Amino acid sequence: MFDNKKAVDTILSALGEQYASLKGAELDILVCGGSALQALGLIERPTKDVDVLAILNLENEPILAEPLPKLLLQAVGKVARDFQLVENWLNPGPTSAITLGLPKGLLERAEKRHYGLKLTVRFLSRFDQIHFKLYAAADHSAASKHYQDLLKLKPTEQEIETAARWAMTQDPSEGFKQMLKLLIKALGYENVIQRI
């Protein structure tokens, strides 16, 4: 369980050590979700996993993180055992989002940290987290962690509008657009609805 910034850093440091001990190639991963929000000190709420959005290739381009590299999975297993975490505590759950396009400038805004000699983790910025949280919250209730995270991030009206426009590239259906508008209204940004 990742309860705070220190827990995220401790476990990712352990992962970096385990991965380096397996003599894996240098690895650069892009992380989003609750653990990234904690790592950046933006929120504190328990989360049970680390969501890998992408792996960066040698050209510094994001590629699908599924499947995760075998040596990384071995290291994940050792850390799960040592810290009593769920087996897939590091997973590529949201990686399909990159096939439809990431918010412009996302990589430049991400915060890069090194965990040992072989593992680099880039955490999505607050601005980009708002994009992903708005997209995820549109399919869930107001009680969802995504909705609650959005409230804690206190987005501006412009940030909500930009995030909504991006979310509609991920799901261009009319049904999604209607759910998104209901969400934006519930969040208190009714002016944005007229502009999207």
Q: Is the pLDDT of residue 178 over 80?
A: yes
Domain that holds residue 30: 5-124
Cβ–Cβ under 8 Å, residues 164 and 180: yes
Question: What does pTM read for this prediction?
Answer: 0.94
Residue 122, number of CB atoms within 10 A of its CB: 22
Q: Is the pLDDT of residue 72 over 80?
A: yes
Residue 23, number of CB atoms within 10 A of its CB: 8
Confidence of residue 2 (pLDDT cuts 50, 70, 90): confident
Q: Are residues 44 and 119 in the same domain?
A: yes
- Of 124, 155, 170, which residue constitutes the final position of a domain? 124
- As for how many domains the chain has, the answer is 2
Confidence of residue 3 (pLDDT cuts 50, 70, 90): confident
- Of 124, 150, 183, which residue constitutes the final position of a domain? 124
Q: Are residues 175 and 187 in the same domain?
A: yes
Q: What is the mean pLDDT of residues 95-102?
A: 94
Give residue 139's pLDDT: 81
